[in-house]
Structure 1
Amino acid sequence: MTGLALPAIVLMVVVNAYPVIYAGIQAVHDGDLLGLGNFVGFANFQDALTDPLFWRSARFTVIFSLCGVFGSWIIGFALALMLKPDFAGKNLFKILLLLPWIVPIVVSSMSWNWLTATPGSLLPMLAADLGFGRVMFLADPTMAMITVCIFKIWISYPFMMMMMSAALEGIEPNINEAARVDGANARQRLRYIVLPMTARSTYISWILMAMFSVNDFATIYLLTGGGPVNSTTSLIVLAYRSVFQDFRPGFGVAISFLMTAALVTMSVILLRQMRKANMQ
């Protein structure tokens, strides 16, 4: 069986390894889109780490990712708990809750733009009618960050809901029933039974969502383009701009490698926590 699978494995390694190797070569050169240019060593990495915009983008990436991971997990977990008991219309309700994840991101971002982009949009007009004044959801830097993070939570909670629903199905009903008979209330059952027994799925969902969030280019670029005044520019957007707008592929690829290093570190930490949870 190994011999039969070997050609496919070799092909996958070659197809995936070549872009990574070439990107590594670009990261140590100062070329453009047409050529590698001169060898500069780790100068691109040094330029990135000393660029204020890099650290501002890193800060927003952390905020965006934390909102995407924990915001969507809290909502998804709560909905999974609500959907665990059988009730009339449960399947229809679950399908409706999956819509933000099913609808293409282009359609979702255009819908949110229609709701928030201009003073004549629905939400700014509603805010004005409620006495909050002229709220510019995508023109004000702080409001743009909040709007983008809420949008990320909205499109991500269905994934978390499905992950946690599957985890909850793996808990034996007898365990909860025994705890109930012993006098444990709902909060105690959640803390001492549900959370520990779903910890493995929780850590996996956190790792996956963190990767999705850090590498989420479409959500930010389609909604705000990284503006206003770079307030919603994440590292992936900054890397894109560096390569395709500023024509500095070495600098942009260096940013991507730094992102990868951060993601690997975070994944290792969460995987260790997952192993600890399995041992308990």
Structure 2
Amino acid sequence: MATTGLNRLRLARAGVGVAGAGRTGVRRSPNRGAFTLLVLIAPSVLLLVLINAYPLVYGAIQSIHRGTLITTGPLVGLENYTDVLADPRFWKATVFTLVFTLVGVFGSWVIGLTLALLLRTKVPGGPVFKVLLMTPWVVPIVVSSTAWNWLVAAPDSPLPTLTRWLGFGDALFLADPTLAAITVCVFKVWVSFPFMMLMTSAALASVDEGVYEAASIDGAGSRQKFTHITLPLISRSTYISWILMTIFCVNDFPTIYLLTGGGPVDSTTSLIVLAYRTVFQDFQTGPGVAIAFIMTIALVAVSTVLYRQIRKVEIA
């Protein structure tokens, strides 16, 4: 019996069927499995490539032609790019886009991190509080921008009325260029901090409490725990949230357009708003698409730098 069992085991390892001594088992080739997998995913991959590649290629063609929304127009090469880079409106929009992005990313991150740390403690009604804090992100941007317009746009709106009562005079939040830029940036932080709070909360939930207990035993204070434990351990999630929020801010058209329309006097015109105006209001498709491609190159560069930071992170 023991000899028979050993023989069956030997035959099975050799690929021979245990039910019949003279019948060999068929081994499936790894290449055959890979080919089957490739055949199964090929239609989906091809569809995704066509959906994404066609607009990209067509946009690249438009960016080197002097055309309109109807016709491609004559080939002008890189003239559209040089014209855009020589346009003062482009650089003014670039400066505002940079400020808008920096404030949106780091402002929402600081507030989101603070609230995530606060909600990690034993706060009465914490789950309800967390749901309420998600409201700015959940509410449609049209509703939020309408509410903020009611709050600051007219002289008899609540905030201008409050500033008058405090003796600061009539604060025209959406009519003054500086105040309009500040208002748009604050609005972006307000609608974005729930996303950062969610990302940070998920990262904090993965941190082992034993690390903090060991640090407390070694005499570490709250600041040392935060700088040497919390921030390093959530750094990967932080970099990912920065990448995503940078993309969200640079490509954020409705937040700006619904609140100020890019005004007054182009003080809140970002690159995406300028590209929209150039294509759909000035009917200059080539320069407008060129602006969009310059934005894409900048986003790829920033994302690459931050992604390299993620790969450098080492968690003990």
TM-score in terms of structure 2 length: 0.87
Cα offset, 1:195, TM superposition: 0.3
Name 1:175's counterpart in structure 2.
211
TM-superposed CA distance for 1:182, in Å, is 1.0
**Which of the residues 25, 29, 38 maps onto 2:65?**
29
Q: CA–CA distance in 2 between the matches of 1:195 and 1:29?
A: 48
Does 1 or 2 have the higher relative contact order (CA < 8 Å, sep 6+)? 1
Tell me if 1:107 matches 2:150: no
| 1:234-273 equivalences in 2 (<5 Å) | 234-273=270-309
Secondary structure of 1:11's aligned partner: helix
Distance 1:256 1:72 in 2: 25
Residues 144 and 228, structure 1, Cα contact 8 Å, conserved in 2:
yes
CA distance in 2, matches of 1:249, 1:117: 33
Q: Which runs of 4+ in 1 moved over 4 A?
A: none
Q: Aligned with 2:187: secondary structure?
A: helix
2:232–2:315 CA contact under 8 A, matched in 1: no
Shift of 1:279: 6.6
Q: Quote the Cα distance in structure 2 between the aligned partners of 1:8 and 1:271.
A: 27
**Which letter does structure 1 place at the counterpart of 2:229?**
I
One-letter amino acid matched to 2:284? R
* Of 51, 56, 69, the match for 2:87: 51
Contact 2:108 2:196 in 1 (8 A): yes
Structure with greater Cα Rg: 2
Shift of 1:6: 1.2
Query: In the comparison of the two structures, how many residue pairs are matched?
Result: 280
**CA distance in structure 2 between the partners assigned to 1:132 and 1:180 by the alignment:** 48
- Fraction of identical pairs, as percent: 58
> Hey, what's the Cα distance between the residues in 1 that align with 2:296 and 2:70?
25
For structure 1, the residue ranges without an aligned partner over 5 or more in a row are: none
> What residue is the counterpart of 1:17 in the other structure?
53
Once the 2 structures are TM-superposed, how far is the Cα of residue 4 of structure 1 from its aligned partner? Answer: 1.3
TM-score (ref. length: structure 1): 0.98
| Equivalence map 1:141-156=2 (5 Å) | 141-156=177-192
Structure 2: tracts of 5 or more residues without a match = 1-36
Q: Give the whole-Å Cα distance in 2 for the aligned partners of 1:135 and 1:89.
A: 37
Q: Within the alignment, does 1:88 sit opposite 2:148 as a pair? A: no
Structure 1 CA distance for aligned equivalents of residues 172 and 188 of structure 2? 19
**Structure 2 Cα separation of the partners of residues 163 and 111 of structure 1:** 26
- What displacement does 1:115 show? 0.5
2:234 equivalent in structure 1: 198
User: 108, 112, 116: which one pairs with 1:76?
Assistant: 112
> Does the 8 Å CA contact 1:200/1:278 hold for their aligned counterparts?
no
| Matched AA of 2:115 | L
Instruction: Please give the root-mean-square deviation of Cα atoms over the aligned residues, in Å.
Output: 0.9
Q: Partners in 2 of 1:47 and 1:59 — Cα distance? A: 18
Alpha-carbon distance between aligned partners in 2 of 1:217 and 1:138, rounded to the nearest angstrom: 17
Amino acid in structure 1 at the alignment position of 2:261:
G
Q: Which residue of 2 aligns with 1:120?
A: 156
Conserved 8 A contact 2:233-2:315: no
Choose which of 93, 97, 103 in structure 2 pairs with 1:67. Answer: 103
